[in-house]
Amino acid sequence: MKKVNIKNFKKTLSKFSTGITVICIKNNNTIYGKTVNSFNSLSLNPPMVLFSLGNYSSSINKFLKTKFLSINILSNKQKKLSDNFASSIPKLENINFIEGKNKTAIIPNCIANLECKLIDKIKKGDHIIFVCEILELQSNDKLKPLVYFNSKYN
Ligand SMILES: Cc1cc2nc3c(=O)[nH]c(=O)nc-3n(C[C@H](O)[C@H](O)[C@H](O)COP(=O)(O)O)c2cc1C
């Protein structure tokens, strides 16, 4: 075993395969989205999920203020969307967002979508854990997931 530093911490955690989500919020009718792989399930009853965002993110204050959000789980055909929403100024013009029941912006053609209510925010280290209750959801059995492993798409 080795002592932990940022380099070996990142490398070790990159051995944990994840899916990729894009999490979207609407603030004054402007949509903000972010590529996030720190997403996970939290509770079955009530149904809850969580994810974390860096407190240094340019749009963190918008995410902290939101009441509702969409979590869009990407398929293996949506790598470009993942790259787009990992950039600091994502392009929105070619995305035909669908409006959710709670006025969230939902990305079409994903392997799954969740519409959520933000119920808690917990500051830990340099990240903030967002705890969300699921209000609506859907999934598509015909698509395959976009998988992230070893700091690369697989
Ligand atoms: C595969 C992948 C997963 C990511 N997961 C997260 C995450 O879980 N939390 C996070 O805060 N940023 C994550 N990011 C980084 C953000 O998508 C974004 O690049 C970062 O917030 C910087 O942009 P900003 O400062 O404009 O917000 C991820 C990026 C990639 C490519």
Nearest CA to ligand 1 atom 19: 86
Residue 11 lies in a domain: no
pLDDT band for position 122 (50/70/90)? very high
Residue 154 lies in a domain: no
Of 151, 75, 84, 70, nearest to 117 by C-alpha is 70
Chain centroid, CA 105 distance in Å: 13
Residue 65 lies in a domain: yes
Provide the CATH number for the domain around residue 77.
2.30.110.10
Q: Can you give the pLDDT at residue 10?
A: 97
- Distance of CA 10 from the midpoint of ligand 1 (Å): 14
Residue 112 lies in a domain: yes
Residue 92 lies in a domain: yes
Q: Can you give the pLDDT at residue 51?
A: 98
Residue 3 lies in a domain: no
**Mean pLDDT across the stretch 65-79?**
98
98/46 Cα distance (integer angstroms): 25
Of 23, 32, 57, 81, the residue with max ligand 1 atoms within 8 A of its CB, to mutate for a pocket test, comes to: 57
The answer to whether the predicted template modeling score (pTM) of the entire model surpasses 0.95 is: yes
The whole domain housing 44 covers: 20-148
What secondary structure does DSSP assign to 98-146, as a single string? EEPTTS-EE-TT-SEEEEEEEEEEEEETTEEEEEEEEEEEEE-TT--B-
Residue 6 lies in a domain: no
| Mean of per-residue pLDDT scores for the chain | 97
Residue 33 lies in a domain: yes
